[in-house]
Amino acid sequence: MNYFELIAWLGVGSSHPGGFPATKQNLEAMEIKPGEYVLDAGCGSGLTACHIAKTIGCKIIGIDISPLMVEKARKRAEREGVSHLVKFEVADVYRLPFEDNLFDLVMAESITVFLDKVKVYREFCRVLKPEGRVADLEMALLKELPPHLKTQMETCFGSGTNPLPFEEWLKTLTEAGFEDVTAKNPQPMRNNGNLLLGELKKDWLLIKDLPQKIRYQPGLVNRLQRNANFMKYNRSFFGFGLFLGRKPKPTPLPPKTFSYWLRKTFLGYYSSLKELRKYLGY
């Protein structure tokens, strides 16, 4: 079972740095309004998307590549009475099944850190309306990670896991075409395992058949412990923050001045004259 399969099987609702408290802290910076259309890319079991639907009342689509996550997210939406506002679909962030210029906000929590960041951000940019916002909560690197810790990190979270320093995250957003890029709520990784555990325990979707799952796969507890320990003992290397950007307005067409009209008319006339001469053969 890889890391994504593990959290999907468990149905973890907030598998991102800072957990659900960080999500609640970031909501203010995202400035979501009730009339907006939001995409939660890599939504997991839908905890954040359902919370946004419930507290803000906007329409939101959550997508995830894992059918198991999407199934759990749909159950959550039904149970929490927000199915009329939030929909969940299986989809890949590299090829979003949406038309261009559709969403007011694309948000993500701990997904681009595992993927090709520029490609994913370009896809987010494509589906955003002009001046639409991107808001991505991701892990950041505070100092260089020694090779043996990089190997351990990839063993825990999968090969390709690549947190960037804060300024690199912003450069990546710029490279993908966003402007007004900024980081909000940057913070170091804290030793607040008990607080996060307390939040996880409140999530009925995770808790409901956890004892049976642990009985069925006892190795799972060791696996989770290993991941938690990696973060606990190496947290001085890591931080996290919310990376924000805005899709630029389209560049306006040149104004139709008198000289533009003259050029257009006479060039048109000139080419028709050339056509006529060719036709008449002189």
Ligand X SMILES: C[S@@+](CC[C@H](N)C(=O)[O-])C[C@H]1O[C@@H](n2cnc3c(N)ncnc32)[C@H](O)[C@@H]1O
Spatial CB neighbours of 183, under 8 Å, sequence gap ≥ 6? 166, 169, 170, 241, 242, 243, 244
Q: Which of 104, 109, 123, 199 binds ligand X (CB under 6 A)?
A: 109
Please, what is the minimum distance in Å from the beta carbon of residue 182 to ligand X? 21
Contact residue for ligand X among 11, 42, 239, 245 (CB under 6 A): 42
Helix, strand, coil tally for the chain in percent (to 5): 50, 20, 30
Q: Does residue number 15 form part of the binding site for ligand X (CB under 6 A)?
A: yes
Using CB under 6 A, which of 26, 66, 162, 227 touches ligand X?
66
Tell me the one-letter amino acid at 265: T
Whichever of 90 and 142 has its CB closer to ligand X, that residue is 90
| Closest to ligand X by CB, 130 or 160 | 160
* Phi and psi, residue 232, nearest 5°: -60, -45
Decide: is 43 part of the binding site for ligand X (CB under 6 A). yes
Q: Is 93 in the site for ligand X (CB under 6 A)?
A: yes
Q: Decide: is 181 part of the binding site for ligand X (CB under 6 A).
A: no
As a whole number of angstroms, the longest Cα–Cα distance in the chain is 92
Number of residues that bind ligand X (CB under 6 A): 21
Out of 6, 65, 145, 214, the only residue in the binding site for ligand X (CB under 6 A) is 65
Q: Which stretch binds ligand X (CB under 6 A): 59-67, 170-178, 184-192, 211-219?
A: 59-67
Distances (CA, A) of 132 to 135, 174, 248: 10, 14, 8
61 makes contact with ligand X (CB under 6 A): no
Residue 116 to residue 110: CA distance in whole angstroms? 13
Question: Starting from the edge strand earliest in sequence, which strands make up the sheet with 128-141, in order?
Answer: 86-90, 59-64, 37-41, 103-109, 128-141, 238-246, 179-188
Per the DSSP assignment, residues forming a β-bridge with 109 are: 137
For ligand X, the binding residues (CB under 6 A) are: 4, 7-8, 13-16, 42-44, 64-66, 69, 92-94, 109-111, 115
